[in-house]
């Protein structure tokens, strides 16, 4: 199914301008840094990228602001984030418009992305009164041991196109209450939503009396990111994107003994066992595999299904794939919007050609859509592919809606297949058998940072820590105790006795 006609680039430009205007951003045009839309694949505005001097200025200003911000009481820092959350609520519709225009998300997912930002602000405000350190039993009489958490410094946030605003907010809301200042280098594909977020945070800062430079935005391509990566004044580089990017960023930050938090690619799988509720499984699988046009780091890319139910499940999935409405993401009936670019579509086609050559069989989907109406855009049917084994292409992350289906005979075999990929982000099992579920969640089960039962791999809540193992980079963001990555701990030993007993019974003097 193809949903209603696409908007024109002029319509989209006007809609973006209106949304930015409502938020208070005046787009300064005429620069050579393009803002584009995947809805038509065309150019919207010419913006200006940050120069080397802009980067230097941002880092210096951010370091200076840190000196004030680090001693501002954490609950007062929380007031800034609370105000940001209010502004996000007020401008939810405008911000969602920008997410759709720049990242191509369907309306409900774009609104969901902004809701996630509001949720993390609420979480961070609460956190601003809960940055707890522990008191530890000392082995010496008259002594107290304590763990104290201090702000870390300047945090660089480098983000990807597919969550152009939420990933920023996970990092920024938490970093700000932790007493850090933030420099944001967003994806080069999503500058407009970044301008909007930066503007709202600047407004919140002004209204609550926080230093303007607690947050700086630097538009630009990877070269801007690289400057931040190499700058010793940046205490933490939180980088979200491909494993390729992480492989470059991680060692460079480590070489200067900086800290990095890496949120990289996934190759997420779901196991469907014979006892699974198939109605629920079909719903969960289709959302996780085809939602966001397969462009979530947590997108379901591999389905490992028990041989006895494989035919039934494939039949039901094929029927669901054939009914997916594809097209204009502003149309409420659309479920699959465009890929980010025609390059992404080419990458998808080359993965499909490779998997076919390796014996894979296309079960449903895979045709390009709307090529005549929008030749520079990349609309495609999500694809279901049967594969006999987990070949090299199946073990890679192709950032497009391809779902590989594999059959298994024993749960041990399913878990081995599941874990036999380089990435380790998200995973799930559909089962009504408690033993199977618990094995999957145990130390001998899924090796991912996220392991779910009876829901798909995507669509995490902000309350839990988010991130993955192996080639996914090992970072944790968002909820739980992920805040500790944005602070440094100090161990304090306080002697309130009149003697000086040494630890481990050592005597001296």
Site for ligand NAD in 147-186 (CB under 6 A): 158-163, 167, 185
Residue from 172, 334, 472, 485 binding ligand NAD (CB under 6 A): 472
Residue 396 designated active-site: no
Shortest reach from residue 427's CB to ligand NAD, in Å: 13
Q: Which is nearer to ligand NAD, 295 or 431 (CB)?
A: 295
How buried is 280 (Cβ within 10 angstroms: 0-12 exposed, 13-18 middle, 19+ buried)?
middle
Strand partners, 403: 384
Site for ligand NAD in 377-406 (CB under 6 A): 397, 399
Site for ligand NAD in 254-313 (CB under 6 A): 263-266, 297
Site for ligand NAD in 179-208 (CB under 6 A): 185, 187-188
Helix H, strand E, coil C: the string for 246-295 is: HHHHHHHHHHCCCEEEEECCCCEEEEECCCCCHHHHHHHHHHHHHHHHHC
Does residue 471 touch ligand NAD according to CB under 6 A? Answer: no
Whole-number Å distance between alpha carbons of 282 and 107: 22
**CA distance to 98, 403, 478, per residue, from 143 (Å):** 56, 59, 35
Angle, helices 92-103 vs 9-23, to 10°: value is 140
> Which residues contact residue 455 at a Cβ distance below 8 angstroms, ignoring those fewer than 6 apart?
284, 428
Q: Which is nearer to ligand NAD, 204 or 217 (CB)?
A: 217
Shortest reach from residue 412's CB to ligand NAD, in Å: 28
The catalytic residue among 42, 109, 113, 263 is 263
Q: Which is nearer to ligand NAD, 57 or 248 (CB)?
A: 248
Shortest reach from residue 372's CB to ligand NAD, in Å: 27
**CA distance to 216, 370, 373, per residue, from 4 (Å):** 39, 11, 11
Binding mask 233-252 for ligand NAD (x = CB under 6 A): -------xxx--x--xx---
Shortest reach from residue 468's CB to ligand NAD, in Å: 6
**Hey, what's the torsion of the CAs at 332, 336, 340, 346, to 10 degrees?**
-150
> Which residues contact residue 279 at a Cβ distance below 8 angstroms, ignoring those fewer than 6 apart?
none
Q: How many residues bind ligand NAD (CB under 6 A)?
A: 30
Residue identified by tokens 């002594």 is 143
Does residue 225 touch ligand NAD according to CB under 6 A? Answer: yes
Q: Which is nearer to ligand NAD, 360 or 474 (CB)?
A: 474
| Beta strand pairing call for 487-495 and 143-151 | antiparallel
Q: Which is nearer to ligand NAD, 80 or 236 (CB)?
A: 236
* Nearest CA among 483, 484, 489, 488 for reference residue 170: 483
Does residue 221 touch ligand NAD according to CB under 6 A? Answer: yes
Enumerate binding residues for ligand NAD (CB under 6 A): 158-163, 167, 185, 187-188, 221-222, 225-226, 229, 240-242, 245, 248-249, 263-266, 297, 397, 399, 425, 472
* Residues marked as catalytic: 263
């Amino acid at each position: 199914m193809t949903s209603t006609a696409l908007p024109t680039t002029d319509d989209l430009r006007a809609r973006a301008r209106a949304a930015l205007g409502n938020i208070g951003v005046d787009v300064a045009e005429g620069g050579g840094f393009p803002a584009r839309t995947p809805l038509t694949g065309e150019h919207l505005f010419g913006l200006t990228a940050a120069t080397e001097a802009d980067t230097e200025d941002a880092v210096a200003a951010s370091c200076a602001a840190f000196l004030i911000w680090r001693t501002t009481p954490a609950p007062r820092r929380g007031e800034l984030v609370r105000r940001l959350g209010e502004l996000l609520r007020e401008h939810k519709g405008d911000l969602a418009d920008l997410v759709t225009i720049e990242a191509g998300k369907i309306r409900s997912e774009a609104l969901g992305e902004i809701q996630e930002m509001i949720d993390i602000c609420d979480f961070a405000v609460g956190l601003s009164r809960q940055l707890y350190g522990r008191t530890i039993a000392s082995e010496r009489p008259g002594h107290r041991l304590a763990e104290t958490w201090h702000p870390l410094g300047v945090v660089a946030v480098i983000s990807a196109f597919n969550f152009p605003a939420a990933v920023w907010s996970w990092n920024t809301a938490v970093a700000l209450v932790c007493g850090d200042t933030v420099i944001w280098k967003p994806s080069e594909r999503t500058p407009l939503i970044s301008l909007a977020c930066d503007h709202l945070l600047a407004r919140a800062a002004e209204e609550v009396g926080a230093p303007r430079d607690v947050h700086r935005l630097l538009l630009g391509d990877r070269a801007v990111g690289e400057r931040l990566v190499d700058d010793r004044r940046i205490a933490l580089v939180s980088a979200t994107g491909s494993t390729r990017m992480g492989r470059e960023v991680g060692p460079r930050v480590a070489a200067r003994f900086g800290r990095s938090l890496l949120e990289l690619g996934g190759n997420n799988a779901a196991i469907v066992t014979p006892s699974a509720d198939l109605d629920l499984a079909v719903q969960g699988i289709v959302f996780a595999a085809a939602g966001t046009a397969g462009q979530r780091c947590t997108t379901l890319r591999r389905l490992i299904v028990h041989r006895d139910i494989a035919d039934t499940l494939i039949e039901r999935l094929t029927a669901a794939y054939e009914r997916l409405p594809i097209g204009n993401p502003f149309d409420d009936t659309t479920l699959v919007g465009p890929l980010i670019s025609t390059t992404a579509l080419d990458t998808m086609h080359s993965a499909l050609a490779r998997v076919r050559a390796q014996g894979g069989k296309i079960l449903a989907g895979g045709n390009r859509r709307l090529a005549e109406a929008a030749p520079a855009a990349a609309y495609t049917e999500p694809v279901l592919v049967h594969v006999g084994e987990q070949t090299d292409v199946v073990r890679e992350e192709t950032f497009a809606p391809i779902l590989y289906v594999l059959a298994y005979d024993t749960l041990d075999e399913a878990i081995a297949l599941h874990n036999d990929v380089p990435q380790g982000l998200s995973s799930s099992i559909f089962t009504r058998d408690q033993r199977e579920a618990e094995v999957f969640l145990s130390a001998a089960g899924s090796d991912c940072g996220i392991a779910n039962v009876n829901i798909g791999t995507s669509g995490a809540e902000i309350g839990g820590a988010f991130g993955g193992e192996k080639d996914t980079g090992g970072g944790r963001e968002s909820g739980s105790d992920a805040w500790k990555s944005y602070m440094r701990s100090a161990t304090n030993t306080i002697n309130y006795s009149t003697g000086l007993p040494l630890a481990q019974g050592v005597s001296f003097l």
